[in-house]
Amino acid sequence: VKAVACMREEQTTRAVIGRCWPDGVDEELRAHASSCPECLEIVMVATALREAHDEAMRDTHVPAAGQIWWRAALRAHTDSVRAARRPIVWLQGIAAACAAGLVMALFGSAWPVLRHASAAAWGVALPIADVLRSAMPFALAVLACLVVTPIVVYFVLSDD
C-alpha cells in the first residue's frame, strides 16, 4: 500500500475518459502507466467502465445523465482505491456503481447525490445537469401533449 497517490493519476483518468487512451497521449505517460500499478489499474478499470457505459448507452438513450453517472462511478472508485486496495471489494463496488448509475440515469431522481459526487472533479458536467433538470418538466409537458392530443382529437372527431 502506497502512502501517497500517484501524481499522474488524474491525467491518466482524464485521458481514458476522454477517449484519448492509448493513441492520443504522449509516449511518456504511456511508459509511466505501464510501470505504475495505480495508473495501470486506472486504465483497466476506466476502460471496462467505458465499455459498460457504451453498452448501456446503446440500450437506454440517456446521454448526459449517463456521462455524469459513470464519471461519478469512476471517481468513487479511484477514491476507494486510495482508502483500501482490496480487489474483490472494488469489483463489487464497480458492479454496484454500474447498477446504481443505471437506475439513476433512468429515473433521474438522485440529482443532488450525483451533483455532490461529481462536484469535486467534474465541474464541467454540472451546468449540463442543471440544463437537463430544468428542461425535464418541459419535456414531460411535451410528452403529455403528444399522448393527450391524439386522444382529444379522436373524441372530437368521433362526436361528428
Asked if 90 and 81 touch (Cβ cutoff 8 Å), the reply is yes
In whole angstroms, give the CA distance from residue 131 to residue 114: 15
Q: Confirm or reject binding of residue 8 to Zn ion (CB under 5 A).
A: yes
Q: Considering only 19-27, 37-45, 67-75, 114-122, which stretch makes contact with Zn ion by CB under 5 A?
A: 37-45
Residue 8's region, left for phi above 0, alpha for psi from -120 to 50, else beta, is alpha
Q: Does residue 73 bind Zn ion (CB under 5 A)?
A: no
Min. distance of Cβ 26 from Zn ion in angstroms?
A: 14
Residue 136 · residue 108 · CB < 8 Å: yes
Among 6, 49, 72, 98, contact with Zn ion (rule: CB under 5 A):
6
* Contact stretch for Zn ion (CB under 5 A) within 5-13, 96-104, 125-133, 143-151: 5-13
Q: Measured from the CB atom, is 10 or 54 closer to Zn ion?
A: 10
DSSP states of 92-149: HHHHHHHHHHHHHHHH---HHHHHHHHHTT-TTHHHHHHHHHHHHHHHHHHHHHHHHH
- Among 36, 52, 72, 81, contact with Zn ion (rule: CB under 5 A): 36
Q: Interacting stretch for Zn ion, rule CB under 5 A, among 31-39, 70-78, 82-90, 105-113?
A: 31-39
Residues 16, 39, 49, 65: which binds Zn ion (CB under 5 A)? 39
Distance CA 60, CA 148 (A): 25
Query: Where do contacts with Zn ion occur on this chain (CB under 5 A)?
Result: 6, 8, 36, 38-39
